[in-house]
């Protein structure tokens, strides 16, 4: 019998859909997948070459658990420059971004603690909160507000047991970006109520309008903010599994204690390639973001042309989160579209109660797939 803590964690909706896609493809069914949050571009060549040099040079053994010094310094330089967070290499822990999320939950949450989540939110936040024995508290957001949580909405959810709030901007699944005034209001509330912030900024470089703001850059927030980011999305390096946490030194030491008892350190040769990613040419990243912008505009035009479907314009990431008016749950809709349209989307309910009546569509795929796939969705929805 598995542990109760594991039984309390629902299966990832995104992975469940991906597994169904794999099964149908194995059965010979051609599926256009809009389900996975992964760039379809290859990792830039200069980064792969740096990795090969590292491997061929014999850099294949343990590194310091916090990461190699040159990478920690490069991450601190980027964070200070781009995120306006005053930090040094001592404030950096090199770790897979998703692993950092698990370690943060174990390091800071106790049974009975409450963690505020904007609803909808990425599925793994709920999972790590529950695995730590704490309770996720969803703050319902609205389609009309681009699914952004305000300080007033958060304030209404705070209790004596509130320990942390988890933020994600740009957002998975909605693509919404939290603006400066909104973040400032939340920052002031966290200072006033002594609430810690976990800020997941993995999509920070994929921005189409406006600017990315880090809540840890506001006065008084660095000491209570754990900022996560990484290379997966911006550099098409999902399989490399490398990211980081930026935080006060005492928090780096606390979370690193868990790292030494889990993965020990990140893959050595990947760390040297990461230095090249951050310090080398940024042109491939710029071209990728420009292509995502074109795809967003294309997908948005096509999805809005479907009768009974509405969609906000995402300011970042690479997702649409359309709302539909058919009398069918988002889980059932996903299965229906898979079998009838041969298209994979992710049910909105997977991201929290407020996601019901919506679905997530990743446009990290070719324009041909976007055109054909959304046309298939249109035809199938007309049958309902």
CA-to-CA dists, residue 147 to 118, 121, 134, 315, 361, angstroms? 8, 10, 24, 12, 16
Q: Are 120 and 351 in contact (CB under 8 A)?
A: yes
Give the distance from CA 279 to its chain's centroid: 23
* CATH 1.10.3720.10 for the 59-279 domain, yes or no: no
Per-residue model confidence (pLDDT) at position 331: 93
Closest CA to 88 of 326, 243, 248, 286: 248
Q: Where are the alpha helices (DSSP H) in the chain?
A: 4-7, 13-26, 45-56, 69-82, 97-108, 123-131, 151-155, 180-193, 249-260, 268-279, 283-304, 330-336, 367-382
pLDDT of residue 19: 77
8 A C-beta contact, residue 79 and residue 88: no
Neighbours of 271 (CB within 10 A): 24
Q: Which part of the chain is CATH 3.40.640.10?
A: 59-279
Q: Which of helix, strand or coil describes residue 325?
A: coil
Between CA 313 and CA 73, with CA 38 as vertex, the angle to 5 degrees is 100
Give CA torsion, residues 228, 244, 93, 284, to 10 deg: -140
pTM assigned to the model: 0.95
CATH 3.90.1150.10 fits 4-42+284-382, yes or no: yes
Give the N- to C-terminal CA distance of the chain in Å, as an integer: 41
> Could you give the residue range(s) of every CATH 3.90.1150.10 domain in the chain?
4-42+284-382
* Grouped pLDDT means (10 residues each) for the chain, 384 residues: 83 72 83 92 98 98 98 98 98 98 98 98 96 97 97 98 98 98 98 98 96 97 98 98 98 98 98 98 98 98 97 98 96 94 95 97 98 98 94
Separation between Cα atoms, residue 195 and residue 132, nearest integer Å = 17
């Amino acid at each position: 019998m598995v542990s109760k803590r594991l039984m309390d964690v629902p299966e990832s909706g995104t992975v469940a859909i991906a597994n169904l896609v794999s099964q149908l493809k194995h059965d010979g069914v051609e599926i256009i997948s809009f389900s996975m949050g992964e760039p379809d571009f290859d990792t830039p060549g200069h980064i792969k070459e740096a990795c090969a040099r590292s491997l061929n040079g014999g850099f294949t053994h343990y590194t310091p658990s916090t990461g190699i010094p040159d990478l920690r310094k490069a991450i601190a330089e980027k964070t200070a420059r781009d995120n306006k967070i005053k930090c040094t290499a001592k404030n950096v822990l090199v770790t897979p971004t998703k692993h950092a999320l698990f370690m943060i939950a174990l390091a800071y949450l106790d049974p009975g603690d409450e963690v505020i989540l904007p609803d909808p939110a990425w599925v793994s936040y709920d999972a790590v909160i529950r695995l730590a024995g704490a309770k996720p508290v969803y703050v319902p957001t609205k389609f009309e507000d681009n699914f952004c949580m305000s300080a007033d909405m958060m304030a209404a959810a705070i209790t004596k047991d509130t320990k942390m709030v988890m933020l994600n901007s740009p957002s998975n699944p909605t693509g919404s970006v939290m603006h400066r005034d909104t973040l400032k209001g939340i920052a002031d509330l966290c200072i006033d109520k002594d609430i810690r912030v976990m800020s997941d900024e993995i999509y920070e470089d994929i921005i189409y309008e406006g600017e990315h703001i880090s809540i840890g850059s506001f006065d008084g927030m660095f000491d209570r903010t754990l900022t996560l980011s990484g290379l997966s999305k911006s550099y098409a390096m999902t399989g490399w599994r490398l990211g980081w946490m930026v935080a006060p030194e005492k928090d780096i030491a606390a979370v690193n204690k868990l790292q030494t008892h889990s993965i020990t350190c990140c893959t050595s040769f990947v760390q040297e390639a990461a230095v090249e990613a951050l310090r080398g040419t940024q042109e491939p990243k710029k071209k990728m973001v420009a292509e995502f912008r074109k795809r967003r505009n294309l997908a948005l035009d096509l999805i809005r042309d479907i009768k009974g479907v509405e969609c906000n314009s995402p300011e970042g990431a690479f997702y649409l989160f359309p709302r539909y008016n058919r009398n069918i749950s988002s889980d059932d809709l996903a299965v229906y579209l898979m079998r009838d349209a041969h298209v994979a989307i992710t049910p909105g309910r997977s991201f929290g109660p407020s996601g019901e009546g919506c679905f997530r569509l990743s446009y990290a795929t070719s324009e041909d797939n976007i055109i054909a796939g959304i046309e298939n969705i249109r035809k199938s929805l007309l049958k309902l």
